[in-house]
Structure 1
Amino acid sequence: MNISAQIVSYLLKNPPQIEADILRAKRKFCKTSKIKNVPSNSELLKKYRKQTKKNEPLANLLRKRSVRTMSGIAPIAVLTKPHPCPGSCAYCPKEKNMPTSYLSNEPAVMRAILCEFNPYKQVQMRLRALQNNGHATDKIELIVMGGTWSSLPDNYQLWYVSECFRGTSDFPETKNNKQLTSTIRRSQPKNKNLFKKELIKEQKRNEKAKNRIIGLTLETRPDCISIKELQKMRALGATRIEIGIQHLDNKILKLNKRGHTVQQTIKATGLMRQFGFKITYHIMLNLPGATQAKDFA
């Protein structure tokens, strides 16, 4: 019996009350067995699943950052490829080969880089990490980041979301789809119907999958919102829109070269509500020209 199995057996017989009890058990067995590398909680979880069907109190203590899925829904963030943004905001970092407004040292960005910004790989990597850390992934809120979604080509949007659904439905298996991937690289507009059909097929398949996407979030700008744009987002399966309004003062927006007005934000919000979308505002405090009073007005 290896060290992880020994620790799990001990914890099942001597139920820990707090996380510190687990750490003490790890140290005790590692010292006795003269092992330098202390097993991680994810390693213990793997052994726990093999040794017993259910012991929720122990699983809860072994689960890393249990607050992530406390609502019963697992959030999964993925990033789109680097692409030009219609805005030219003064505060954007604009790091080379990175999606606009994102930095290469952010955890979600580092995962995306490792996966070459491939949506299928990103989804599967995140699902695997969540499950290894004890989280349920049967209900998923997919959050697509990477800047202004609306500025991406239609073919890429259809392919990207389709691959997210496919990666979720396939998990834990991995299946290549070289035909679609090579087609999107050629970016031929005539293939739009192919991507639409593929998206509908994957959406339908995901309805009965073990890991289901029950919410899809896209991010964009107020000046990109229109009836046509919202219809496209609905067809993709979007349920929530994260919109970068940043501030509610036109002078501050102009000073920071935001490229849209408060009036456009109001109009965009009205349209999104008519379509029944959940709405998340992105707001920035302490922008050049702003004051504490204006930020909280």
Structure 2
Amino acid sequence: MRSGKRDLSPAQLMMLTIGDVIKQLIEAHEQGKDIDLNKAKTRTAAKYGLSAQPRLVDIIAAVPPQYRKVLVPKLKAKPIRTASGIAVVAVMCKPHRCPHISFTGNICVYCPGGPDSDFEYSTQSYTGYEPTSMRAIRARYDPYLQTRHRIEQVRYSERSLTKCIGITIETRPDYCMKRHLSDMLTYGCTRLEIGVQSVYEDVARDTNRGHTVKAVCESFHLAKDSGFKVVAHMMPDLPNVGLERDIEQFIEFFENPAFRPDGLKLYPTLVIRGTGLYELWKSGRYKSYSPSDLIELVARILALVPPWTRVYRCRDVRTREVGIQEIHHRVRPYQVELVRRDYVANGGWETFLSYEDPDQDILIGLLRLRKCSEETFRFELVGGVSIVRELHVYGSVVPVSSRDPTKFQHQGFGMLLMEEAERIAREEHGSGKIAVISGNSGTHARGYYSGLARVGSFSHCSLYMCICASPKILAGLFCQQTVRVFSSTVLSKPYWFVNHLEILLKCRF
């Protein structure tokens, strides 16, 4: 057999590898077992003496027709995206120089991108070789083309109608002040990803961040008082920090009420050619952690994560989501219960409600309710108002107005969470109004919440406000596409909706 393998070309060996992988997938399916595809590809490639694994697209193309219906969904790229109940479309802005260069004299020491970088035609913070960056370059950074092409890809892989239900904007703390937040609300943004990187003032100064830690705390406070979900970007292994100091900053980050984000993205520091950090590394003034130290650090950070914080990219919200295929089949409906967690953050009273299976640590859905601070600047939230900053039921995407008994979306968990939020707002917050920040789904959001009103879910609240997108939404703002605007609408109950819209694009959001 070995001599036979030596007589085969690499292409023929790759074909044998693909056939073997598909055979393992079919056997696992017929036996009702799960299989780790990455391990199967690695093991099989080694068996045939290949240094590279077979590509996923080649495996999908070789699946026998009679097995395509059952195997292709298991082979979809990045199923983790839709397992959370949403399909993410990333849009990159065109390269610009950072505005803080005018007073710091340079960009952040670790930043590889921008028009003046070694990578030239790349967005700030990116090299241009990331999949999202390459799609943006191919579209010449036209936001409409980026969105349309990506939506077309999603539609090819999903049978459901696709709707844009929210926009996330990545920005800096000094660009999260009142003026910026109001603008982002009009764009239909519901979640902010804020580049914090470090909670140490000296590190922010030494890395040319161009903002203070006080600006970080202020941006978190203002953003949450406006209803946004706040995701922080943190960068361990920066210069002049060290392992123990890195751990201490994450303890501070999760325990200090001035921080306490809703989500976290970890970006361990990379040394990339053309950056200021690269010059420090070449001269021996910076040395990064060893792989074992970095693994230990990330493990200790994850052990600190509170239940209400979602770590993007894993006990946090992410690894407990019911949509993850490995845990979906373990849920028993009679073991699911409502869990409540209260905490103080950024000047307000936060309540994190969730339906979960506590014994197995599986999350079905969550709701973030906030009693805003007295300093809130949004007129909709002044006085006796509580705001729902997030309502999400996890599980693979289910088409709007559809039911799938094997999935958890559209099974009533959202309504139950809203009922409990309304009770807390009325009885404990003393609020006479409840607000919900909603994205760009326009009439769908209005129909969902007005439907709750008709069944009496908010019978004790005198006013309901939905802070939605305005005509300045992404496509309309940049591309002047056609938009249909729904003016403020008075329903049978006194519920008020602000600036609803539906976007009419070729890709049919």
Which residues of 2 match residues 84-233 of structure 1 at below 5 A? 84-87=97-100, 88-94=107-113, 95=117, 96-132=120-156, 134=157, 136=158, 138=160, 210-233=161-184
AA partner of residue 94 (structure 2): K
AA partner of residue 71 (structure 2): L
- Give how far 1:111 is off: 1.0
Pick from 179, 183, 197 the counterpart of residue 246 of structure 1: 197
Distance in 2 between the 1:19 and 1:256 partners?
Answer: 41
Report SS of the residue matched to 2:134: helix
Which residues of 2 match residues 268-279 of structure 1 at below 5 A? 268-279=219-230
Distance in 1 between the 2:244 and 2:56 partners?
Answer: 51
AA partner of residue 60 (structure 1): P
Distance 1:257 1:214, change over 3 A: same
Report SS of the residue matched to 2:137: helix
AA partner of residue 84 (structure 1): R
Q: Segments of 4+ in structure 1 off by > 6 A? A: none
Quote the residue 1:67 is aligned against. 80
Distance in 1 between the 2:56 and 2:96 partners?
Answer: 43
Is the helix fraction higher in 1 or 2? Answer: 1
Quote the residue 1:40 is aligned against. 58
TM-score by length of 1: 0.57
Report SS of the residue matched to 1:241: strand
Q: Are the aligned partners of 2:174 and 2:219 in contact in 1 as well (CA < 8 Å)? A: yes
Q: Are the aligned partners of 2:173 and 2:215 in contact in 1 as well (CA < 8 Å)? A: yes
Report SS of the residue matched to 2:91: strand
Report SS of the residue matched to 2:203: helix
Aligned length: 196
Q: Are the aligned partners of 1:44 and 1:62 in contact in 2 as well (CA < 8 Å)? A: no
Q: Are the aligned partners of 2:121 and 2:128 in contact in 1 as well (CA < 8 Å)? A: no
- Give how far 1:70 is off: 1.1
Quote the residue 1:81 is aligned against. 94
Distance 1:296 1:131, change over 3 A: same
Offset from partner CA, 1:78-114 (integer Å, 9 cap, x none): 1111112123212212332221111021111111111
Distance 1:244 1:75, change over 3 A: same
TM-score by length of 2: 0.35
Q: Are the aligned partners of 1:73 and 1:137 in contact in 2 as well (CA < 8 Å)? A: no
Distance 1:113 1:263, change over 3 A: same
Which protein has greater RCO, CA pairs closer than 8 Å, 6+ apart? 1
CA RMSD of aligned residues (A): 3.3
Q: Are the aligned partners of 2:60 and 2:72 in contact in 1 as well (CA < 8 Å)? A: no
Offset from partner CA, 1:189-235 (integer Å, 9 cap, x none): xxxxxxxxxxxxxxxxxxxxx31111210011111221111110000
Distance in 2 between the 1:63 and 1:137 partners?
Answer: 13
Asked if residue 236 in structure 1 is aligned to residue 184 in structure 2, the reply is no
Distance in 2 between the 1:224 and 1:114 partners?
Answer: 28
- Give how far 1:59 is off: 4.1
Q: Are the aligned partners of 1:216 and 1:240 in contact in 2 as well (CA < 8 Å)? A: yes
Distance 1:279 1:19, change over 3 A: closer
Distance 1:233 1:74, change over 3 A: same
Quote the residue 1:260 is aligned against. 211
| Structure 2 residue ranges without an equivalent (≥5) | 1-21, 42-54, 101-106, 249-509
- Aligned identity (percent) is 34
Distance in 2 between the 1:225 and 1:251 partners?
Answer: 21
Distance in 1 between the 2:98 and 2:112 partners?
Answer: 12
Is the strand fraction higher in 1 or 2? Answer: 2
Distance 1:15 1:125, change over 3 A: farther
Q: Are the aligned partners of 1:81 and 1:99 in contact in 2 as well (CA < 8 Å)? A: yes
AA partner of residue 192 (structure 2): I
AA partner of residue 98 (structure 2): C
Distance 1:286 1:41, change over 3 A: same
Distance 1:249 1:19, change over 3 A: closer
Q: Are the aligned partners of 1:41 and 1:63 in contact in 2 as well (CA < 8 Å)? A: no
- Give how far 1:119 is off: 1.5
Distance in 2 between the 1:264 and 1:128 partners?
Answer: 39
- Give how far 1:286 is off: 1.0
Offset from partner CA, 1:157-215 (integer Å, 9 cap, x none): xxxxxxxxxxxxxxxxxxxxxxxxxxxxxxxxxxxxxxxxxxxxxxxxxxxxx311112
AA partner of residue 71 (structure 1): S
Distance in 1 between the 2:175 and 2:196 partners?
Answer: 12
